Amino acid sequence: MNGVQIRVRGQVQGVGFRPFIWRLAQGHGLVGEVLNDPEGVLIRVLSAPAGFLADIRSLAPPLARVDAVELGECRFELAPIGFTIAASAGQGAETRVTPDAATCPECRAEIAEPGRRKGYAFTNCTHCGPRFSILRGLPYDRAQTTMAPFAMCPACRAEYSDPADRRFHTQPVACPDCGPRLWFERAGAEMPGDPIAQAVADLRAGRIVAIKGLGGFHLACDARNPEALALLRSRKRRPAKPFALMAHEEALHDVAHLSDADLVALRAPAAPVVLVSGRGVLPELIAPGMTQLGVMLPYTPLHHLLLSAFDGVLVMTSGNLSGEPQVIGNDEARAKLSNFVDGFVMHDRDIARRLDDSVVRAAPPMVLRHARGRVPGTIPMPKGFEDAPQVLALGGQMKGAICLIKNGQALLSHHLGDLDDVLCLEEFHKAVADYRALFDHRADCIAVDAHPGYRATQAGQNMGLPLEGVYHHHAHLAACLAENGWPRDGGPVVGIILDGTGLGADGTIWGGELLLGEYARAERIAHLRPVALPGADRAAREPWRNLLAQLDAAELGAEADRILADKPIGLLRQAISAGLNAPLSSSAGRLFDAFAAALGFLGPQSYEGEAAVWLEALALTAPGDAQAYALGRAGAVLDPVPMWRQWLADRDAGVSAPVMAYRFHAGLARGFADRARELVESGQAQAVALSGGCFQNALLHRLTLDALAGLPVLTHRDVPANDGGLALGQALVAAARQNPGMPSHPVTG
C-alpha cells in the first residue's frame, strides 16, 4: 500500500515532537507512524492533507525548531491501523540536538506543590531540563545519556510511555524514588539532613558554597555580604572581574533596572546571564567600577529550591580558579575546590560536558559568551553554500570555540576558554573529539587562524587533513556575513573590524581595520595608525604602556613624562627605539587601553578588557551630546594623533573625565563610519558589517550605528562579535575557497 513519507529536519529530538505529531495525527484522523532516526523525525502516513503539513510548522512544541519539511513516497507492507509512535531507528548524527532548557512553569509549580515531586531537584519534562549537558550519543535516547544508570520506577515509566503525558519519552524523567539524589557535603563527608537547608544556613552565615548545577559547579555566596564577597574574591583569586548574580525575578527588580527587553532575555529557555543596569544598592565588590550587573534567573529546580529558601540574591560564579575550566565532576570538585569552599551541594547525575553560563546583552541584542542553553544550536548556511564540504574550524587563541559545517548547517561550539591555559587547552582537544564523534563529522578540510603560534592552529596542523589558514580579521568579517545570511554572491561588504590583536596579511599585528571583501577574499582599505606595543603581550595587561607609546607617537612625550613619572618609561623608550619586544600594531583594543590610562586607569588589568569596560562605564555617565574627537586621515591611515591633542586641550580646560571618555568613543565610531559610508555610497560596497571584540561595547556599537544611519548594516546578535565567533568565519571562508584556483590567503594589506 502506497503512502506519504514526511521528513522533518531541525531541532526536533528531545522536544516532544513525536507526541506532538501523534496528537496532531489523531486530530486529523490519520493512520501511520512517527519515529526518530539519525536525520530527525520521520512520519509515514497513508495521506498527508495540507492542513496537517501546515500544522507541523505552525504548532510545533516550544523548544522545537523546524528547518525543513520534505515530502516523499513510502510503501506499507500491511495497512496501518491507527497512528503509533515507533522505536528510534538507525545510527549516526544528521539532526540537531536540543540545548539545555530552563525549568518550565509546570515543573516549577510541581516542585512547590504537594505531590511526589514536591521539593525534587531533578524534576523536568519534555519542555525543559537537561539535554546537551547529559548527552553521550545520538539518537537522543535515555541509554545514550548520563541518566542511563537510573532505572525508571513504575510511576515514571507510565508517564514516559503515555503519548498524552507531557513526559512522554522525556529521557531525563525521574522522581525521588528512582532518580538522582542531592546531598550536602563538608570536608569530604556527607552531612545528614536537608541539603538545601544546610546550604542556605552556610550562605546566610557568610560562607562559600559550591553547587553542582547543569553544566558544572558554581561558587555561591550572599551578594549583600561584603565580607563574603571579599572572601570569595580572595579564595578564587579574582580581584575585580564582575560576579554573576542569580535571584528570582522579584528580587532582581530590587537590585537592577530591568527593561522589557532584559526580561525577555532573562525568561528565555536558555536562561543566560544578562547584562543590566544596576541600582547601586549592592556592595561595590560585586562589580568594581561598573554600573552594570550580570544577572540570571534560577534555571534548574535545584536553583529554584535554593533561591526560594534563601529569599535573596546570590553570587553564582563559575566553580574554578580564575582562568581554568569550570569543574564538573564530584571528585574533581573535591580535589580542586575544597580549599576555598566551606561546603558542597552535590548530586549523582554526571555532567557529560562543561558548559559555562551564556552571557548576553538585550539592548542592543548580542551574545558575549556562547554556552549553556545556546549550544548546540545551528546556523543555516547562506545561499550559495548548499553543497559546502564538511569543514572543521578551530577558532583562535582567546575565547576558544570550534565550528562544524555539515548538511548545510554551521554548528558553533560552546565557549572553551583561553588556550593559553594548559587545562583549557586540554578541554579544547576533548571538545574537538567530542563534537566530531557526537555529530559524526568527517571533515574534508581544517580551517585555522593564520597565526602559526596559536595553539588551535598547531592542533589543526597535526590532523593530517588539508589546511586552510584564515587571517584573523577576515574571519571576523565572514562570521558577521554568515550570521546575517549574506549570500555568497551578495557582493562585497565593508567591514569595520575593531578588536585587540590578530595577525595581518602584511605580517604585522592588526586590530583597527576597514576591510572590503566577502567570504573568499578581502582587501584592507584603511586602518588605525600602527603604534608600538611596549613589552608585546605585557601591553595588553598594563594600559600605561600603550599610553606611553601613543603620547610619544603624537609628539606629546612631555605629557607622558608627567603622567607616568613613576614608571620605567626610559627603558621602554629605548626598547621601542631599538624595536625590541615592541611590535607595531593598529589595535583598537590597545587604543582603548591607552585612553583609559589617560583618564586614570593605569592598571594592571586583572581580566581581559577591564580598562575598556571601565572606560565605557565612565562614558555612559556623560551627557549624550558631547562633540566627537577627530581621527586624522592620510591615505589609508586613520590617525589618533588629533584625538590626543584634543584630549590634552580638554583636560587642561577642566573638561570632566566622563565627557572626554564619551568624545573618544564618538570619535572612533565617526572616523571609521565616515570612511565606510564613502565605500557604500560610491558603490564599492553593498553594506557595512561590524565585528570584533570592541563591538561588545554597547556605546561604541550605538554610536557607530548612528554614524551609519541610512545604510544597510550587518551586526552580530547570536554569534559573539569577539573571538568566540572566529571559528564560524573561518569555516565559511574555507568553504568558499573550495573553488579550483582560489588563492590560499586572498587578503591584501
* Other Cβ atoms closer than 10 A to 671: 27
C-alpha dist (Å) from residue 721 to 264, 464, 594: 21, 30, 22
Question: Directed axis angle between helix 50-58 and helix 17-28, to 10°?
Answer: 150
**Residue 345, phi then psi, degrees to nearest 5:** -100, 110
The kind and range of the H/E element at 563 are: helix 557-563
**Residue 83, phi then psi, degrees to nearest 5:** -125, 130
Do β-strands 747-748 and 522-528 pair in parallel, antiparallel, or remain unpaired? Answer: parallel
Do β-strands 273-278 and 359-361 pair in parallel, antiparallel, or remain unpaired? Answer: parallel
Do β-strands 292-296 and 273-278 pair in parallel, antiparallel, or remain unpaired? Answer: antiparallel
Question: 134 in helix, strand or coil?
Answer: helix
Question: CA nearest 704: which of 660, 661, 662, 674?
Answer: 674
Marked catalytic residue, from 9, 18, 361, 675 = 18
Lookup: cell for 207? 560562607
Question: 658 in helix, strand or coil?
Answer: helix
CA–CA gap between residue 583 and residue 581 (Å, rounded): 6
CA–CA gap between residue 578 and residue 583 (Å, rounded): 11
Do β-strands 359-361 and 343-347 pair in parallel, antiparallel, or remain unpaired? Answer: unpaired
Contacts of 689 (CB under 8 A, 6+ apart): 477, 480, 481, 484, 493, 494, 495, 496, 713, 714, 715
| Spatial contact of 513 and 476, defined as CB atoms under 8 Å apart | no
| Spatial contact of 471 and 745, defined as CB atoms under 8 Å apart | yes
Query: Which amino acid would we find at residue 673?
Result: A
CA–CA gap between residue 162 and residue 632 (Å, rounded): 70
36 counts as catalytic: yes
Say which DSSP state 92 is in: S
Question: CA nearest 84: which of 209, 166, 173, 168?
Answer: 168
CA–CA gap between residue 174 and residue 160 (Å, rounded): 10
CB-neighbour burial class of residue 635 (10 A; exposed 0-12, middle 13-18, buried 19+): exposed
Task: Report CA 58 to chain centroid distance, whole Å.
Answer: 29
Lookup: cell for 443? 571533515
| CA dihedral for 126, 127, 130, 136, sign (positive or negative) | positive
Lookup: cell for 567? 614608571
Could you give the dihedral angle defined by the CA atoms of residues 52, 57, 60 and 66, in that order, rounded to the nearest 10 degrees? 130
Residue keyed to cell 531525563: 172
| Spatial contact of 3 and 75, defined as CB atoms under 8 Å apart | yes
| CA dihedral for 303, 306, 311, 317, sign (positive or negative) | negative
CA–CA gap between residue 61 and residue 66 (Å, rounded): 10
18 counts as catalytic: yes
* Other Cβ atoms closer than 10 A to 698: 16
Marked catalytic residue, from 9, 36, 455, 675 = 36
Catalytic positions, written as ranges:
18, 36
